Amino acid sequence: MKFSIETWADARAAAQPIRYQVFCTEQSIPIELESDDKDVCSLHCVARDDTGRAVGTGRLLPSGHIGRMAVLAQFRRQGIGKAILGALVEQARKCELKSVMLHAQTHAMRFYAAEGFAVEGPEFMEAGIAHCVMRRVLD
């Protein structure tokens, strides 16, 4: 598996179909909520298998907000999401950010907690799915 940090111009062709599959098809999030204007100012991690096929993605906004974490169903539970998250956290360190935060779907809270994220505040609904804010302070 290879992981790269890319601009939206470079990542879009690989990342967008993954996000549509996971968020729009699997989770029934309306396409107008999945797409936003923050992609162009974000850095994107794209995971590719040995054949070069894109299988996962995530993004880091300049503010330190990590989001749009998605891995294709047949590639889950192989450590790809953890590696994408790690690459985005490392990129945040390179950008000299003091912390990173994300809106975790509540079913994924344990995943993020295992990677050093702590819950901040109450549960809330976003795109019809329960979420919570989680933050990780960087060394």
Q: What is the pLDDT along the chain (139 residues), one digit of tens a residue?
A: 999 999 999 999 999 999 999 999 999 998 888 889 999 999 999 999 999 999 999 999 999 999 999 999 999 999 999 999 999 999 999 999 999 999 999 999 999 999 999 999 999 999 889 999 999 999 8
Q: Tokens 């976003």 belong to which residue?
A: 126
Domain boundaries along the sequence of the chain: 2-97
β-bridge pairing 54-60 and 2-6: unpaired
**Is the dihedral angle over the CA atoms 85, 87, 93, 94 positive or is it negative?**
negative
Q: Tokens 């590639």 belong to which residue?
A: 75
What's the whole-model pTM score? 0.94
CATH T-level topology, domain 2-97: Aminopeptidase (3.40.630)
How far does CA 24 lie from the centroid of its chain? 15
